[in-house]
Structure 1
């Protein structure tokens, strides 16, 4: 019954009197779903707000005001409003001394806190509170926290993009700042200590390889990682890490978009394929580096390079043959000019034509040409393109059969008659049934066929074209997903809706 009520709570056709009854008898889970409805009256909003999860959602949607919240009785809801930047300053002062560390940690992540609250949180004895503040705070507070004695606070600060560049450089290099006095490892273990990656101690939360010999090695490495990843860290401070023995640090360097060309060129020759593959994603690399990576057979390098937005099109045929790109719209193809689109459409390489066919804004002439392509993978790629006629879609099915049926069914312009014939195709194509079950033009005839497939059944149960009597029967289905979908169906009869509330 609970799944049926959860589905009913999101049913857009639920009459207001039934919404009232559902709210009156709601539990916390049901209230959270009901809180998403757009038709709630102010009275219903207040009624649902008696549950914290629902109240938090209502706060995020801007449907609760400060007058609706008592921060002493509902600290989690007050925190949600502070996170939205609409809470009252006195709430922050109250929560800054809350006995629950979790509440103060959440408060530390809020922006625009009063100065006195920030100072209170910065001096908190719990490392988690100060670290959370360091992650989100402003530049002036970041400077003060950069000398915090605990390395975990500095690690969080290294990820803060508003921290001053001089602070980030010092955290990265360790120069000019006093060393940390403790870390999460030496807080718990006698040093020197290296955490066994296969540790079986009950309740142990240290990550694999966590280590400290007094210099907080593993946390320092994390500080370096965070600072290298932080775009606000000065380039001058990061470039020397190009030859660092840690592949984790070189990997972070490969993600940056502000490095000199010479550094990218060196990373393109890195011994670790993971780093070179990450570099292949970087939009800042120049054509000379792209040329180097195009011939790189290291794991994932060529596949990820194919997704580079600045890829010269002349590299595409080679990459299409060298790696499995899959059916996806590549950024470079998405930005291709009209002349380039014509060039790609005329490519002798069917994989290139298939990749072009992923665009959904092709000129009609090129779209129609690709729909007649002799290669099934090209036709499969173009089949969902809007604008194809019913005759064109039927022709593709006649030529290529089961290889293209699911994609034809996904075409937004597929007619009701076509969807019915696809649903009756033998042997059945299960992927096609799932597409039909969610298609706006699906008829009750086609949807009844979709109900015979376990994966398409929940989708069909939600479709408004399903006969109301069938929807009502599905409320007693053995699959909870089907029950929930049927209850959410806007065509569910009123009597069935009302019956669920008795």
Structure 2
């Protein structure tokens, strides 16, 4: 890959005539960068597609390629991408449904708005991959019919489809009222009984680890149940009995459902698998009593997910902030706090409570300023990026708390050019601060030159438009491809340098 040319192709300041010249020499990598340009005209898109046919799919999804410019026989995946976008020609669906290449029919099966006769043909396709893809995305009526398909893999796809009618989903869980499946992916390929070795040495084998069939298609039936349990359309009555199921996978699928009765939630709260309890903790359907039970869980994953719950009580949330990393970002419950709760938090003697509040970016000035003066470094670190803070306040934070808050001070949108330069001179240096300065809109050339001395910040600084043009040109030859790419994409790269890069590449 030519990093410099790919960066240049993405440069928003690249003149249109140079875009044309890059199109004329484009390879696959360069075409990918050009296809993503926001200002690419339809004429340029056609030229790029003519030059690099593989770019057609991306151009189709970017919305700059018209159906009239595409021959479906020569570029089937581009035509299918247009159908997927609803922009293809109606007759293409009839063309692809009879295509001898199964992958083309499979892609067609995922397209919306297909004619009824095409859907009917796809549902009867002899390749199970095609029917499975249709089952994943089709309408309730078609999904209901495919729920009785003789292949268990198709039934699994029906169980995943949220458009599938509830009664069909319930039947898929138990199998009651449905004819037995006759095939699965395992018995399609192996003599049964067969259990797939989780460490299968065959490079061409794509059976899932542990897949098995003794004639009852047991591993796929299990997958069908898991899919239906995760499907929000499955009736509550059909799923509650799985809370005590020996399968961890099935209990786990149940934990995230929004219709869990309290008794089922209480049962899952004592599950031995931490991941199940964590998903339960993140479930918006659980009540306060269960929230308080889960707050005492010994596993940090459970407590971390609980902190994200939109209805967690503030006292519980403060406790979670003390015992986990829950206070490292703005939490939904804090974002929804009322004015009275905001006052309660800012006046709390507990720094963890004040830290939670400090992540909000819409605080009244008097509360924001009070938190900026907080004696606790974690509170100050959380408030440091709040807009509206004056340069003097930000400098005072950096002076009082040093490396603990420097990166967050640098990330403040109102940090002045002088302050950003001041932060680059801090001893000891703070690498994360340089990362923030390198992308700050107020960064000066002097500050950016300091950022270039730090490896992690160097690619960001190379793309900043405040960098001197002469430095940008030097960085085009940098040994680090990411730096060269960023420099070539820098809108402050002189037009003459852009033209020279294209001339040398031609």
TM-score (norm: length of structure 2): 0.96
1:20 aligns with 2:20: yes
Q: Which residue of 2 aligns with 1:427?
A: 428
**CA shift for structure 1 position 467:** 0.5
Please name the residue that 1:95 is paired with: 96
| Deviation at residue 53 of structure 1 after TM alignment | 4.2
SS at match of 1:384: coil
Alignment of 1:73 onto 2:92: no
After TM superposition, give the deviation of residue 86 of structure 1 in Å: 2.1
Cα distance in 1 for partners of 2:495, 2:126 equals 58
Following superposition of structure 1 onto structure 2, how do residues 167-316 of structure 1 map, counting pairs within 5 Å? 167-316=168-317
Instruction: Specify the alignment match of 2:388 in structure 1.
Output: 387
- Any unmatched runs of 5+ in structure 2? none
The match for 2:64 is 63
Q: 2:49 — aligned with what?
A: 49
Q: 1:45 to 1:199 in 2, by over 3 A?
A: closer
Matches within 5 A, 1:23-38: 23-38=23-38
2:2 equivalent in structure 1: 2
1:341 is aligned to 2:342: yes
1:350 corresponds in structure 2 to: 351
SS in 1 for 2:367: helix
Contact 2:260 2:286 in 1 (8 A): no
1:434-445 superposed matches below 5 A: 434-445=435-446
- What corresponds to 2:475 in structure 1? 474
Structural mapping, 1:83-162, within 5 Å: 83-162=84-163
Change (3 A) 1:314 1:427: closer
SS in 2 for 1:427: coil
Contact kept in structure 1, 2:439 and 2:460, CA below 8 Å: yes
| TM superposition shift of 1:299 | 4.8
Secondary structure of 2:71's partner? coil
The corresponding residue for 2:493 is 492
How far is 1:254 from its partner? 1.0
After TM superposition, give the deviation of residue 61 of structure 1 in Å. 2.8
Residues 273 and 299, structure 1, Cα contact 8 Å, conserved in 2: no
- Structure 1 residue 262, shift from structure 2 partner: 2.4
For residues 329-369 of structure 1, give each alpha carbon's deviation from its aligned partner in whole angstroms, at most 9, with x where no partner exists.
11100110111111111122212211211111111111111
State whether structure 2 residue 486 is matched by structure 1 residue 464: no
Q: Judge conservation of contact 2:144–2:164 (CA < 8 Å) in 1.
A: yes
The whole-number CA distance in structure 1 between the counterparts of 2:89 and 2:16 is 34
Match of 1:396 in 2: 397
Residue 220 (structure 1) shift: 0.6
Offset at 1:149? Answer: 1.1
SS in 2 for 1:291: helix
In 1, the alpha carbon distance for the partners of 2:279 and 2:448 equals 45
Residues 299 and 323 of structure 1, relative CA distance in 2, 3 Å threshold: closer
Tell whether the 8 Å contact from 1:135 to 1:160 is kept in structure 2 after alignment: yes
- Please report how far the alpha carbon of residue 260 of structure 1 lies from its aligned counterpart in structure 2 after TM superposition: 2.1
Distance change in 2, residues 1:208/1:326 (3 Å): farther
**Deviation for aligned residue 1:58:** 2.4
Distance (Å, rounded) in 2 between the aligned partners of 1:123 and 1:499: 58
Distance (whole Å) between structure 2 residues aligned to residue 7 and residue 273 of structure 1: 45
Kindly state the Cα deviation for residue 191 of structure 1 after the two structures are TM-superposed: 1.5
Alpha-carbon distance between aligned partners in 1 of 2:400 and 2:210, rounded to the nearest angstrom: 57
Conserved? CA contact 2:278–2:302, under 8 Å: yes
Secondary structure at the counterpart of residue 497 of structure 2: helix
Secondary structure, aligned partner of 1:362: coil
- What is the CA deviation profile of residues 296-348 of structure 1, one whole-angstrom value per residue up to 9, with x for unaligned ones? 22452222111110111121222222333251111100110111111111122
Cα displacement string for residues 171-218 of structure 1 (whole angstroms, at most 9, x for unaligned residues) = 111111011111111112221122222222332222221111111111
CA contact 1:303–1:324 (8 Å) conserved in 2 = yes
**TM-score, with length taken from structure 1:** 0.97
Q: Give the direction of change, closer, same or farther, for the CA distance of 1:102–1:470 in structure 2 (3 Å limit).
A: same
The 4+ residue runs of structure 1 with deviation greater than 3 A are: none
Distance 2:379 2:42 in 1: 54
Between 405-414 and 92-101, the greater mean CA deviation after superposition: 92-101
SS in 1 for 2:100: coil
Asked if the contact 1:274/1:299 (under 8 Å) is kept, the reply is no
Contact 2:41 2:64 in 1 (8 A): no
Distance 1:132 1:80 in 2: 15
- Give the Cα separation in 1 of the matches to 2:458 and 2:96: 48
Contact 2:61 2:82 in 1 (8 A): yes
**C-alpha contact 1:387 1:413 (8 A) present in aligned 2:** yes
SS in 1 for 2:187: coil
Report the CA distance shift for 1:42/1:111 in structure 2 as closer, same or farther (over 3 A): closer
Q: Would you say the 8 A contact 2:473–2:493 is kept in 1?
A: yes
Q: Residue 40 of structure 1 corresponds to which residue in structure 2?
A: 40
RMSD, aligned CA = 1.4
- 1:359–1:251 Cα change, 3 Å: same
Which residue in 1 is equivalent to 2:409? 408
Give CA deviations for 1:395-444 in whole Å, capped at 9, x if unaligned. Answer: 01110111111111000100000000111212221111111110000000
